[in-house]
A and B are shown apart, each in its own frame.
Chain A
Amino acid sequence: MAKTNQYLVAENWGKGFIETSESTRFSIAGYPGNVWKVPAHNKQANLWIGKVLGTIKTKDEAQTLVDAEVTAAQTAWDALSTEQQAMNERPADIILEE
């Protein structure tokens, strides 16, 4: 079955990283670890990947990167004081879709 999404790693440099003209043409979803999901086999999405110098990752590779970030976030949360923990829920695991 042809894949629906493709994953990449790219650093969000801020203004111009995602432009309105791009987000109106295809969906872009971001995850911890500078991981982004865009539609597969999509000309405009591929042009955007080129613009942001994205590095393509398989879904499993992307999941590993996200897991590492979430685990680090959970570890950081565990180290917080009781007062700080009370103000933020412990970060939840994130499962990427195909």
Chain B
Amino acid sequence: MAEYKGIKGFTLQFLSADPTANRGDTWYNSTTKLAKYSGVTTAGSWATGGNLGTASLDGASAGIQTASIYAGRVTGAGNYTNTSEKYDGTSWTATPGLNTARRAGTGIGTQGAASVVAGQVPGSLTAAVENFNGSSWTAGPSINTARRSLGSSASGSQTAMIVFGGTPSGTATESWNGSSWTAVTALTTSRYVLGGAGTQTSALAFGGEAPPHSNATEEWGGSSWTNGGNLGTARYGGGSAGTQTAALYMSGGNAPIVTNVEKYDGSSWSAETVVPAGASKTNGAGTQTAALMIGGGTPWPATTNTLEFTGAGATLTKTIETD
């Protein structure tokens, strides 16, 4: 019988615990008595993340898969809250609340330097902007047009971001340069509860409710919007992640909720692996290949679910099965 060394040119490692493996490594775990290898995923995949401390939907989120923040959301049966939680890749912990309780704002930036812009407050809309410094939220200059369910350049920063769409403003786009908000060229397609990705000078707006549900995608080049490829499934309220040329739109819709996930390559959307549990008014964070889908309604009121997406090509430890 041929030996492994004879076939591959090296011996199979005999270890008592799984190592921190590099792609292509193989070993035998003497504790579990399983042969394993470090392979590569060939398709996107989902895993559950730590549950939110409070079931929520329609909040504002920012950050990456392993360091995100989620604030200003609906909990229970229609409560607007100022509460906030942060995620470390494993679990959520409570963080200081916003100064203004709200829902349906938009989040931009990183976990330690996030902004929450606009939203709905009981009985009215707000234009209020709040900035997080890692320990507390501070009010910043408000946008010019109060609105809710708007999109944003989610990968922007506290000193460079744009917000767009929403209701009732529909197409209004505003840009922040670190000191003031300026109205810039409006979206072509009026919509709200839309997805947003990218930066202040290279953003993406997609989906939303026109009504009806929209599949429109628009690309922001720094001074104007141009049409991009349409979503395969028109919907609103999905979770957004990524950049203008590598975006991800996760689940969404409401009646019914859809589990569709789509990725954008700068010109067209294509289907990705569906989410195991769909949600609407959910939030997103991260990148096209390492994203987070946070809370949402399934259908109503809200869920504590957190889902982690890993794109194709990720290193993954697998067991070598012999039967």
Residues on A lying within 8 angstroms of B by beta carbon are: 12-24, 27-32, 70, 73, 76-77, 79-81, 83-84, 87-92, 94
Tally B residues with Cβ within 8 Å of A.
Answer: 45
B230-259: contact bitstring with A at CB < 8 Å (1 yes, 0 no)? 000000000000000000000000111101
Which of B18-26, B44-52, B218-226 contacts its partner? B44-52
Q: Is the CB of B259 within 8 A of A14?
A: no
Q: Is the CB of B48 within 8 A of A15?
A: yes
Q: How far is the CA of A90 from the CA of B104 in the complex (A)?
A: 18
Q: How far is the CA of A92 from the CA of B104 in the complex (A)?
A: 21
Q: Is the CB of A89 within 8 A of B255?
A: yes
Q: How far is the CA of A32 from the CA of B300 in the complex (A)?
A: 9
Q: Is the CB of B299 within 8 A of A20?
A: no
Q: Is the CB of A18 within 8 A of B50?
A: no
Partner of A17, one of B48, B90, B103, B281: B48
Known A-B contacts A28-B276, A87-B104, A88-B297; the reply to A20 vs B41 at CB < 8 A is yes
Q: Is the CB of A32 within 8 A of B298?
A: yes
Q: How far is the CA of A87 from the CA of B302 in the complex (A)?
A: 14
Per the 8 Å Cβ criterion, residues 95-112 of B in contact with A are: 103-104
Known A-B contacts A23-B276, A87-B120; the reply to A80 vs B78 at CB < 8 A is yes
Q: Contacts of A87 on B, CB cut-off 8 Å?
A: 58, 103-104, 120, 148-149
* B131 located at the interface, meaning its Cβ lies under 8 Å from any Cβ of chain A in the complex: no
Known A-B contacts A13-B51, A24-B316, A91-B299; the reply to A18 vs B78 at CB < 8 A is no
Q: Considering the complex, give the chain A residue whose CB is closest to the CB of B124.
A: A83
Q: Is the CB of A21 within 8 A of B318?
A: yes
Q: Is the CB of B78 within 8 A of A14?
A: no
Q: Is the CB of A20 within 8 A of B46?
A: yes
Most buried by B among A21, A28, A30: A30
- A32 nearest CB across to chain B (Å): 6
Partner of A14, one of B51, B278, B314: B51
Q: Is the CB of B316 within 8 A of A20?
A: yes
Q: How far is the CA of A80 from the CA of B77 in the complex (A)?
A: 7
Q: Is the CB of B120 within 8 A of A20?
A: no
In the assembled complex, 23 residue pairs joining A and B whose CB atoms fall closer than 8 Å, in A order, are A12-B48, A13-B51, A14-B49, A14-B304, A18-B46, A18-B48, A19-B48, A20-B46, A20-B47, A20-B310, A20-B314, A20-B316, A23-B46, A30-B276, A80-B77, A81-B78, A87-B104, A89-B254, A91-B297, A91-B299, A91-B300, A92-B256, A92-B299
Partner of A91, one of B43, B51, B58, B255: B255
Q: Is the CB of A15 within 8 A of B90?
A: yes
- B158 nearest CB across to chain A (Å): 27
Q: Contacts of A92 on B, CB cut-off 8 Å?
A: 254-257, 299
Q: How far is the CA of A94 from the CA of B316 in the complex (A)?
A: 34
Q: Is the CB of B300 within 8 A of A83?
A: no
Beyond A14-B91, A77-B300, A88-B297: 9 further Cβ-contacts under 8 Å?
A: A12-B305, A15-B49, A20-B41, A20-B45, A21-B316, A23-B276, A31-B277, A88-B254, A91-B254
Q: How far is the CA of A70 from the CA of B254 in the complex (A)?
A: 12
Partner of B77, one of A31, A79, A83: A79
Most buried by A among B103, B259, B298: B298
